[in-house]
Amino acid sequence: MDENAGPATASGGRRPGEVPLLLATVFRDMSDHLHTRLAELGREPLRPAHGYAFRYLADHPHATTVGLAAHLGVTKQSASKTVGELADWGYLRRRPHPTDRRAQILRLTDRGQEYVRLADTLWAEAEQQWADLIGADRLTAVHDALRAYVDHLPDGRRTGLRPVW
């Protein structure tokens, strides 16, 4: 059952195909951590999809709804709905596009940016718990391994953060 044991195997070998499930489990737990903390802090129950939208908007100050949709891997209608909610809640404003009167520039408000910083902090918290467990060096090694996978993806597959299944 373990034709793949590497020299660094500390936990008795790795069943082929086991890693994806572990990835999901760990991510799921970290995600739960985030939402638990948000609830503790009395924050609005933003869904993780919103979180990924936030991140994209924070990184792309000239984002449009269609661009966001592509990033999230959902239809533009769905992205439009999300944008509408975030706007209603005061996290972003739609501003006219300077040259294209069909389009709107999506800009985070101060409140929106503050939320992004909070989310980053909470994700970092979850990550730190892992670092406490295995050490910062090993976590960095994991990070680099993940990074290598992601960097190797063709552009089209690098985003896609719609519901994981």
Partner DNA sequence: CATCATAGTCAACCAGGTTGACCTTCTCCA
Partner DNA sequence: TGGAGAAGGTCAACCTGGTTGACTATGATG
Q: Which residues bind DNA (CB under 7 A)?
A: 47, 49, 64-67, 73-78, 80-84, 94, 97, 99-104, 162-163
Q: Tell me the per-residue interface mask from 141 to 160 with its own copies, x by CB under 8 A, - otherwise.
A: xxxxxxxxxx-xx---xx-x
Q: How far is the CB of 62 from DNA (least distance, A)?
A: 10
Query: Are the C-beta atoms of 37 and 119 separated by less than 8 Å?
Result: no
DSSP 156: H
User: Which of 84, 95, 114, 121 forms a contact with its own copies (CB under 8 A)?
Assistant: 121
Least separation, in Å, of the C-beta of 77 and its own copies? 19
Interaction between residue 122 and its own copies (CB under 8 A): yes
| In the complex, least distance from residue 103 CB atom to DNA, rounded to whole angstroms | 3
CA 120 to chain centre: 10
71 CB contacts (<8 Å, ≥6 apart)? 52, 56, 159, 161
Closest CA to 109 of 82, 87, 83, 85: 87
CA angle, corner 60, sides to 59 and 65, nearest 5? 125
User: CB of 135: closest distance to DNA in angstroms?
Assistant: 35
Q: Rule CB under 8 A: is residue 161 a binding residue for its own copies?
A: yes
CA distance 45 to 48: 9
Q: Least distance to its own copies from the beta carbon of 69, Å?
A: 16
Query: Cα torsion at 32, 38, 42, 44 (round to 10°)?
Result: -90
Interaction with its own copies in 11-30: which residues (CB under 8 A)? 11, 14, 16-30
Contact footprint for its own copies (CB under 8 A): 4-11, 14, 16-32, 34, 47-49, 52, 55, 120-128, 130-131, 133-134, 136-150, 152-153, 157-158, 160-161, 163-165
